[in-house]
Amino acid sequence: MQKTFAERLIEKRSIDYIPIAERHGKVWHLWPCWFSGDAHLATVATGAVGLLLGGNLFWMAIAVVLGSAFGTFFMAFHSTQGPQLGLPQMIQSRPQFGYIGALLVWGVALVSYIGFNAFNQLLAVQTVQSLYSGASTPTMLAFTAVALSFAIVGYDTIHFVQRWVAYVMIVALLVFTISVLTHMQFTPAQLDAGDFRKVPFLAQFFAAAAYQISWSVYVSDYSRYLPRDVGVGESFWWTYLGAFVGGAWTMLVGTIAAAAFPLLGIAAALQAAADAVLPGFGKPLLVCSLLGLVTITSLNFYGASLTLLSVFDSIKPIRPTVTKRMLTLVFSALVSVGLALAASDDFFKEFGEFLAVLLYLFTPWTAINLVDFYIVRKGHYSVREIFNPHGMYGRWNWRGLVAYAVGFSAMIPFFSTGIYRGPVARALGGADIAMLIGLPVSALVYILACRSMDLQADRRQAAAADVGLDP
């Protein structure tokens, strides 16, 4: 029976393994995917964090670049897992935490996806209203529908759209950057290298780093269809190139806009800065940034769907189907829209605090997942056993759970949010360096816990279980 156009277009896979025969795409496609993933208004807003705390343009620009370079390092290493395993990012947590234990990180990831999208939806409404006015609810629904449609069609369409958004954004960012360098004047205080302030600098550094690390929860979702023989270095550097350049460049745009117009909201400041250096360019730049916001919202819906399916599969093993993927996508969209519509006037401030907590929760997972893949098991896993509820990875893996608990606990004295500020953070004047503690502590505890494993037997068992996996 001949398939319809829609049947050929819509992605059939979800959390299941991508067979070698279905692998396709080029590794360089990763850079536009992650350049566009960062080139939007939410990233612009991240670049303004330090200035709002009293930093100046000179030091905040340095903090943005260094923070982005640091955070993207971890995110890009997760990307290399996709071609090797042919699985989405979150399902890969089962070997470290267990078949049921992985629900811990999946729950946090799911809340993050939906929360980010509620933020994106509100930001989109504010942007559209500042450009063209209009009612908020219809605008939000239209924005959500477009983003959801890309997620429904799936992997190949998302990559295609991300490439074209990247090309558009490169042109827009180049025009803005050249115009700023040739026309914009800043006060001497903004460019004063002697005015270093520790708290704003560290806040901006870790905001940029944490923002980049936040992509780790789904980065290999968009590399899992690549051929298995793609080199680790290739997938790492193409991902790093796209995410670092897109993230740092777009954050710097936000830093510049906030320095030039500190009393305006981020969308209004961006428009005003663009108009100041190139009259009439403000609206086109905002529209371009809105395109990136649509596509990253689509990526979040896609990731939420895969995570929901993983949760359901842990509760009761399921056969992933297109229908189940559609239902989880629609559910994710409805929840995020409901959250956005119910948000209070202080939602942006409250959500910023909420995201800080989520990023604390992701830090130990990132360390454990990467250490297990690159140091402990060295990429040797059984795909079949990952989906076996009574398999070799167990229902609960005490090693990952203990390392996570210890790593998270070690960060608590260093937390610095409006909700809670730890004693070390208070001693540092409010500076937040929790991530620098959580990453090495979680990694070290996990490595020590794995010393009791028989890794040779683990590797033999994984290889035997996957015999005949690919025809």
C-alpha dist (Å) from residue 264 to 46, 120, 293: 15, 19, 20
Closest CA to 127 of 118, 145, 112, 140: 140
Asked whether the predicted pLDDT for residue 5 surpasses 50, the reply is no
CATH number at residue 127: 1.10.4160.10
Token pair in block for residue 294? 């649509």
Range of the domain at 197: 23-352
Give the pLDDT of residue 2.
45
pLDDT at 349: 59
- pLDDT tens digits for 204-247? 898 888 889 888 888 999 999 999 988 888 999 999 999 999 99
What is the amino acid identity at position 333?
A
Let me know: does 147 contact 295? Beta carbons within 8 Å.
yes
Residue 82 in domain = yes
- Residue 106 in this model has a pLDDT that exceeds 90: no
If you average pLDDT over residues 157-180, what whole number do you get? Answer: 94
Q: Does the structure show a pLDDT above 50 at 111?
A: yes
Task: Assign 344 a pLDDT band (cuts: 50, 70, 90).
Answer: low
CA 26 and chain centroid, separation: 21
**Region 134-160: what's the mean pLDDT?**
90
Is there a contact between 140 and 117 (Cβ–Cβ < 8 Å)? no
- Please state at what angle helix 103-132 crosses helix 266-277, rounded to 10 degrees: 50
Separation of alpha carbons 318 and 309, rounded Å: 8
Q: How confident is the model at residue 45 (pLDDT cuts 50, 70, 90)?
A: confident
Structure-derived torsion over alpha carbons of residues 440, 442, 445, 448, reported in degrees to the nearest 10: -70
Residue 212's contacts (CB-CB under 8 Å, 6 or more residues apart) are 38, 67, 68, 70, 71, 72, 74, 75, 243, 244, 247
Please give the C-alpha separations between residue 201 and each of 5, 251, 415, 423, in angstroms, as whole numbers. 52, 14, 16, 20
In a domain, 223, yes or no: yes
In Å, the largest CA–CA distance within the chain is 72
Q: Give the residue from 119, 148, 146, 154 showing the smallest Cα distance to 43.
A: 119
Structural domains counted in the chain: 1
How high is the pLDDT of residue 269?
86
Q: Which of 76, 342, 54, 389 is nearest to 233 (CA)?
A: 76
Please say if the pLDDT value at position 405 is more than 90. yes
Q: How far apart are CA 92 and CA 163, in angstroms?
A: 27
Average pLDDT over residues 390-394: 92
Rounded to whole angstroms, the Cα distance separating 144 from 132 reads 18
Q: How far apart are CA 271 and CA 248, in angstroms?
A: 19
Q: Is residue 439 part of a domain?
A: no
What 3-state DSSP class applies to 49?
Answer: helix
Tokens matching residue 187: 């006060």
Residue 127 in domain: yes
How confident is the model over 49-95, as pLDDT tens digits?
Answer: 888 888 899 999 999 999 999 999 999 999 999 999 999 988 899 99
Domain assignment present for residue 380? The answer is: no
Round the average pLDDT of the chain to a whole number and report it. Answer: 89
Q: Which amino acid is located at 316 in the chain?
A: K
Written as one string, the DSSP assignment of 256-279 is: HHHHH-TTS-HHHHHHHHHHHHST
Burial class (CB in 10 A: 0-12, 13-18, 19+), 234: middle
> What are 247's strand-pairing partners?
none
End-to-end CA distance of the chain: 24
Query: What pLDDT sits at residue 21?
Result: 92
Residue with tokens 């009293």: 54
Question: Does 353 have pLDDT greater than 70?
Answer: no
Cβ(287)–Cβ(131) under 8 Å? Answer: yes
Select the highest-mean-pLDDT range: 285-294, 342-351, 391-400.
391-400
Report yes or no on 362 lying in a domain.
Answer: no
Contact between 281 and 275 (Cβ < 8 Å):
yes
Confidence at residue 267, expressed as pLDDT on a 0 to 100 scale:
80
- The structure's pTM equals 0.90
**Residue pair 124/293 in contact by the 8 Å Cβ criterion:** yes
Task: Please check whether residue 394 lies inside any domain of the structure.
Answer: no
∠ CA(254), CA(198), CA(267), 5° rounding? 15
Question: Quick one: pLDDT at residue 345?
Answer: 64
CB of 15 closer than 8 Å to CB of 87 = yes
Contact 329, 145 (CB under 8 A): no
Q: Is residue 337 part of a domain?
A: yes
**By C-alpha distance, which of 440, 420, 439, 438 is closest to 430?**
420
Buried b (16+ CB within 10 A) or exposed e, 74-95: bbbbbbbbbbbbbbbbbbbbbb
Which residues of 1-96 form beta strands (DSSP E)? none
> What are 49's two structure tokens?
């964090």
Pair 208, 46: CB distance under 8 Å: yes
Residue 345: what are its φ and ψ, rounded to 5°?
-65, -25
